[in-house]
Amino acid sequence: MLIGAISDLHGNLIDIYPCEVLFICGDISPLRLQFNMEEMEYWITNEFLPWCEKLSCERIFLIAGNHDAFLERKKEKFKSLLLGSKVVYLENELSEYITDNGDCYKIFGTPYCHIFGNWPFMRTDEVLKNKFFDIPEDCDIVFSHDCPFGTGDVCLELNEKHRGSIPLRDAIIRSKPRYLFTGHLHSANHNCEILEDTEVYNTSIVNERYEVSYEPLYLNI
């Protein structure tokens, strides 16, 4: 099965190669609209969802990021906009995808990030420990907005130190998914990194200047 993964669109609705499943790891919102609930609803209805429906993929799994205020403040409204679409929105939830030949993939998506400022979906480490404890140990794919501490969490353009989440790291080590797709840190290493038993990929498509600079991730799994 060919899958794709992207993150940190920030309004950039790019071309996606045909794949069976696409994972969107948060921060879909255009920066200029992110706190305007009325304009965000219009953009989601008239730009984002039509783009999703035109993509050549069977299913799109989506989580929010720290720039997606509409998805936190207007969650029920957002979910109502998705009715009848190919988009499955997860907020610290488990889902499944069954292929045509009967293979079942267990998928967990979480938007929550550790705190660095006053942004949507940011929580204390104590809260995150409880949130991430929901990740089951038989999960195939986890996709999160934040990165695990020590793995793919250095912004290479900024020459910074590790900025990832310790609770997320601990949860991934405990639950041992096959794959973890992340975003959030735009210029982190986009190559595969290994966290014990898990392949970790940063899937942000923009750089630190919010310019589209990275290709989507595609994997045959």
Task: Classify 172 as helix, strand or coil.
Answer: helix
Among 219, 138, 130, CA closest to 176:
138
- What span, in angstroms and rounded, lies between the C-alpha atoms of 76 and 105? 26
Give the pLDDT score at 194.
96
Cβ burial of 119 (10 Å; 0-12, 13-18, 19+) is middle
Give the pLDDT score at 159.
67
The torsion angles phi and psi of 71, rounded to 5 degrees, stand at -70, -20
**Which whole-number Å values give the CA distances from 24 to 117, 142, 162, 217, in the listed order?**
23, 12, 23, 11
Give the pLDDT score at 132.
97
Domains located in the chain, CATH noted: 2-220 (3.60.21.10)
Token code pair at residue 154: 């250095």
Neighbouring CB atoms inside 10 A of 196's CB total 11
Q: What is the DSSP string of 97-136?
A: EE-TT--EEEEEEE--EE-SSS-TTEE-HHHHHHHHTTS-
In the predicted model, residues of the chain with pLDDT beneath 50 are: none
Could you read off the pLDDT of 175-199 as tens digits, one per residue?
A: 999 999 999 988 888 889 999 999 9
Q: What is the DSSP string of 49-79?
A: HHHHHHSS-SEEEEE--TT-HHHHHTHHHHH
Write down the pTM of the prediction.
Answer: 0.96
The 8-class DSSP code of residue 11 comes to T
Give the pLDDT score at 158.
67
**Which whole-number Å values give the CA distances from 39 to 7, 26, 51, 81, 166, in the listed order?**
21, 18, 17, 14, 35
HSE at residue 20, side-chain half, CA atoms within 13 A, is: 13
